[in-house]
Amino acid sequence: MSAKGLLDRYGVSLRGLARRNRLRSLGPRAGLDFASNDYLGLAGSEGTAAAVATALANGTTVGATGSRLLRGNAPEHAALEAKAAGFFGAEAALFFGGGYIANLAVLTTLPRKGDLVVLDALIHASAHEGARAGHAHVVTVPHNDADAVDGAIARWRAGGGTGHAWIVAESLYSMDGDRAPLNELARVADRHEAFLFIDEAHATGVYGPDGRGLAHRYEGRENVVVLHGCGKALGASGALITAPGILCDYLVNRCRPFVYATAPSPLMAVAVAAALDIMTHEPERRQRLQDMVALASGKAQALGLKASGSQIMPIIVGDNRGAMVLAGRLQARGFDVRAIRPPTVPEGTARLRISLTLNVEKPDLLALLDALSEEWPR
């Protein structure tokens, strides 16, 4: 068989995506930033850069050189984990290379055979894939429906389920910008003696005292595990899992994505630790962002658009091609806004995902929303 024949099926798949307006390609950074997750503007902050430069000057290596269980366990990793555990109010923390791998790691390791994992329908793809790659039974429930979670666990118990249930939710959803009913989910978890795994990727740094997230009041409980993304508001990369110490020890011993992966760069650990300090000492960053959210909400409502009340503002267009065309028009006017299409969001809900960050000013935001109203009259 020729090389061309070997590759034909991939071309067929790509052409199918193109026909459905779902073909993706890599695009450059261009225009005003309304697409990134750098909510507090820390990715390019002087404080983070200075901390990394000092670490380099003091001999911190760029590469980790191996897995954490070999020579890759740098003092910077341990220092960050101790700092993060104290900052978030947990017994222990473990640093992973990214949020995707952290979700995959937790959900393939901690829920065990005979357990139940209950997923919110709109949770990150990495959580869905991690749960299905694990050993527990998995069910998906309607978005933000605590009663449906309760019912799923009750039916599982009635059907003979004898393990532990794991309730998995984002505290702030990445594509809709809405909050999970954490109080209700915590009560369900307590009622069923279940675990609650909260993905704080888009809330860490933005909400809670000193930016400790929407789940801060639950940190430290023996049945709560939290993921704090480090590549969004913290402006670096990686993810922190905070949990009871015994669960972190279990991950170190049993979690294949941790045991067999090269450790994150020690410099990223330094950058994340610096970001935690900045969040504590510069609360005005969170206030400026909340001022942007309030401005966007008021302007959106005046234009007849739905406001999420968070820094993530979805503009639901519906069809894939329409979302791509609208994004292209705004990009041509100097605004970096991206279209989000299935399977990232449900069919028929293609959208623009407008992200508010401190990388733009209020006049830029008002100009974007005016441009949106001109290019997409309602």
* 183 catalytic residue (yes or no): no
Catalytic position from the list 38, 120, 124, 310: 124
User: At 199, phi and psi to the nearest 5?
Assistant: -90, 110
Please say whether the beta carbons of 39 and 356 come within 8 A. yes
Beta strands 350-355; 312-318: pairing state: antiparallel
Nearest 5°: phi and psi at 139? -130, 150
Active site residue 199: yes
What strand order describes the sheet that includes 224-229? 92-96, 239-243, 224-229, 195-199, 165-170, 116-120, 137-141
Q: If we measure between CA atoms, which residue out of 135, 253, 115 comes closest to residue 194? A: 115
83 is catalytic: no
Q: How far apart are CA 234 and CA 275, in angstroms?
A: 6
Q: Distance between CA 315 and CA 300 in Å, rounded?
A: 10
Q: Are 276 and 87 in contact, with CB atoms under 8 Å apart?
A: yes
Specify whether 174 is catalytic. Answer: yes
Answer yes or no: 37 catalytic: yes
Catalytic residue (one of 33, 37, 144, 228): 37
Determine which one of 45, 232, 237, 359 is catalytic.
232
**Within a 10 A sphere around the Cβ of 78, how many other Cβ atoms?**
13
What separation in angstroms does the CA of 58 have from each of 25, 357, 377? 40, 32, 56
Contact 217, 198 (CB under 8 A): no
State the catalytic residue, choosing from 38, 120, 170, 176.
170
Catalytic residue, chosen from 77, 128, 192, 202, is: 202
Reported for 117-121, long-range contacts at CB under 8 A and 24+ positions apart, including other chains, are 117/165, 117/166, 117/168, 118/149, 118/152, 118/153, 118/165, 118/166, 118/167, 118/168, 119/168, 120/144, 120/168, 120/169, 120/170, 120/180
Q: Of residues 33, 115, 199, 219, which has the active-site annotation?
A: 199
Question: Of the listed 144, 171, 174, 320, which one is catalytic?
Answer: 174
Active site residue 202: yes
- CB count in 10 Å sphere of residue 10: 9
Residue 170 bears catalytic tag: yes
Please tell me the distance from the alpha carbon of residue 169 to that of residue 258, in angstroms, as a whole number.
22
Query: Rounded to an integer, what distance in angstroms lies between the CA atom of residue 341 and that of residue 348?
Result: 9
Identify the bridge partners of residue 243 per DSSP, sorted by sequence position: 92
Catalytic residue positions, numbered: 37, 124, 170, 174, 199, 202, 232
